[in-house]
Amino acid sequence: MTHHDQPLPPAAPSESEALPTSTRVAEALPPLMQDRSFWGMTATQFLGAFNDNLFKQLMLLLATPTAVEIAAAAARGETEPDRQAEAMIVFATAILLFTGIAGWLADKTSKRTLIIGSKVAEIVVMAIGMIGFLMYGSIGFGGMLVVLFLMGMQTAFFGPPKYGILPETIHDRDLPTANGIFLMFTFVAIIFGTVLAGALGSNPATVWRGSAVCILIAVLGTATSLLTRRVPPANPGMQMRWYDWLVPPESIALLRKDRELLMALMVTSSFWLLSSIVSQAVNSLGKSQLGLDDLHTSILTATLGVGIPIGCLIGGRLSAGRINPRVVAVGAMGIVISLGLMSLRGGEKDHLLGFYGSIPVLIIAGISTGVFIVPIQVAVQALPPANEKGRIIALMNQVNWIGIILGAVIFKASVTFCETWNQPRNTAFAVGALVMLPIALFYRPKERSLGD
């Protein structure tokens, strides 16, 4: 995610072949657990994910009406809009627009340089966010959507180098373990960021203080990014073309040849479509259906994240140096069953599980999610040729955010359906289960080793 008139890269290896070693720095690589560069990149990702999810959850809580607001609007013969979909679409659109050019930069320049530059930009965006919350009375929710768009831009330029640098700086055999650790810390950051957002609440008069913390976190993330190992550009002679903002024809040609890689990209997009639906559904369930406050709603959201790092470690361990289709199948079916349970009706609030019953089910859903996504993430990193990795990973980000936008649209449609037909908000979980069901039943990536 090679450009201009260079020949197309060779096709991915056959199923019987071990994946080739990625082009990486010439120095001898230390063991993964003793690799300062890997842990620096992991810390950078942790701090970035913390900031992203703190700010995004603050916006989603602002956008979600409470049960009291919904009841008051109903008494007036009106509806209280749920604006979560608007926030998700703005954030995702920014990433979608700039991920293509970010992928080009990730191959043209050193990924380390792009990572550090992205982290400096994060400091600026977080400072703008603090100013935005201070001026919320003047700019309103619409003004904060502009800040959210800037956050999306920064995320777009950080995505391709942060994932593309892993295959360049560690052994191929370590990719499953490294991705498990990387994703584990990512989702731990999501938990902390989400819970802190709930503790701050959705009162714009006080949440600016949280934005000040975000600035400090961004500064720390910039410092840890300096630990990342220096790597040469993968394709420094590449020239920019207009379609680098979209999908380069070389990447399209590669995907046509490599059906396995194409399917992995489609599944990741479907997965993030599902994640978009579920993250909004949990907020809607908590505030709009169960009548929870911001803190308890965010705890419910964070509970989903508790299981994900556990699942990432399990997924990395079960993969054990290979892409394992059985791991994918088990994870996908666990997601389907968990979401099906979350959609059941009954009880006082028309939700059978309620707040406390939802917690263990969401933990299981999180574990299943981690088990499912690690092997697919590894496949997208390992299958492309070395000089195409940056743009293929950028393309993965693009299709993922297309999925997130579609998920926001589907969630908005499900809310409209629930309001029109007087159905509970947890109906959205059933929609999510239906999205994952075909993947659980039919998708099986080819099993292959990841030896150096």
Q: What is the pLDDT of residue 32?
A: 86
- Taking the CA atoms of 343, 348, 353 and 355 in sequence, report the sign of the dihedral they define: positive
Mean pLDDT (whole number) for 191-212: 78
pLDDT at residue 452 greater than cutoff 50: no
The conformational region for residue 201 under phi > 0 = left, psi -120 to 50 = alpha, else beta, is left
Give the mean pLDDT of 289-318: 88
- Bridge partners, residue 322, by sequence: 449
Q: How many CB atoms lie within 10 A of CB 104?
A: 25
Highest mean pLDDT pick, 160-169, 197-206, 403-412: 403-412
- Res 209: pLDDT: 78
CA 324/CA 316 separation, integer angstroms: 10
In Å, how far from its chain's centre is CA 115? 17
Q: Tell me the C-alpha distance between 237 and 17, whole Å.
A: 30
Tokens of residue 193, six digits:
């960021």
pLDDT digits (tens, 9 = 90+) for 12-53: 333 333 334 444 444 578 888 889 999 999 999 999 999 988
Strands (E), 180-325: 322-323
Task: Report the predicted TM-score, pTM, of the whole model to 2 decimal places.
Answer: 0.78
Residues near 148 by beta carbon (within 8 Å), at least 6 away in sequence: 55, 56, 59, 87, 90, 91, 94
Q: How far apart are CA 452 and CA 174, in angstroms?
A: 9
- Confidence grade of residue 6 (pLDDT, cut at 50, 70, 90): very low
- Is residue 242 over pLDDT 80? no
Distance between CA 185 and CA 121 in Å, rounded?
22
Amino acid (one-letter) located at 82: D
Question: Which segment of 1-10, 149-158, 441-450 scores lowest on mean pLDDT?
Answer: 1-10
Query: What is each CA distance from 2 to 160, 236, 257, in whole angstroms?
Result: 16, 10, 15
Rounded to the nearest integer, the mean pLDDT of the chain is: 85
Q: Which domains does the chain have, with CATH numbers?
A: 34-232+248-449 (1.20.1250.20)
**Residue 112 pLDDT grade (very low, low, confident, very high; cuts 50, 70, 90):** very high
- Going by pLDDT thresholds of 50, 70 and 90, the confidence category of residue 202 is low
Name the residue with higher pLDDT: 63 or 425.
425
Spatial separation of the C-alpha atoms in residues 332 and 124, rounded to whole Å = 39
State pLDDT tens for residues 366-391: 999 989 998 898 888 788 887 777 67
Our measurement of the distance from residue 401's CA atom to the centroid of its chain's CA atoms, rounded to an integer in Å, reads 9
Cα(250)–Cα(270) distance, rounded to whole angstroms?
A: 23
Q: What pLDDT is stored for residue 61 in this prediction?
A: 84
Is the pLDDT higher at 93 or at 7?
93
Q: What pLDDT was estimated at residue 395?
A: 79
Please tell me what DSSP assigns to residue 10: P
Residue type at position 150: L
Average pLDDT over residues 96-115: 87
Report the distance separating Cα 110 and Cα 235, nearest Å. Answer: 9
pLDDT of residue 377: 84
Which element (helix H / strand E) includes 448?
Answer: strand 448-449
pLDDT of the residue at 283: 92
Range scoring the smallest mean pLDDT among 102-106, 210-214, 220-224, 391-395: 391-395
448 phi, psi to nearest 5 deg? -155, 155
The CA-to-CA distance between both ends of the chain, in Å, stands at: 23
277 token code pair = 């639906």
- Predicted confidence band at 400 (pLDDT cuts at 50, 70, 90)? confident
Report residue 157's pLDDT band, with 50, 70 and 90 as the boundaries: very high
Q: Which helix (H) or strand (E) holds 146?
A: helix 136-169
Residue 204 pLDDT grade (very low, low, confident, very high; cuts 50, 70, 90): low
Per DSSP, helices labelled H in 34-83 are 36-63, 67-75
Quickly state the pLDDT bin for 158 (edges 50, 70, 90): very high
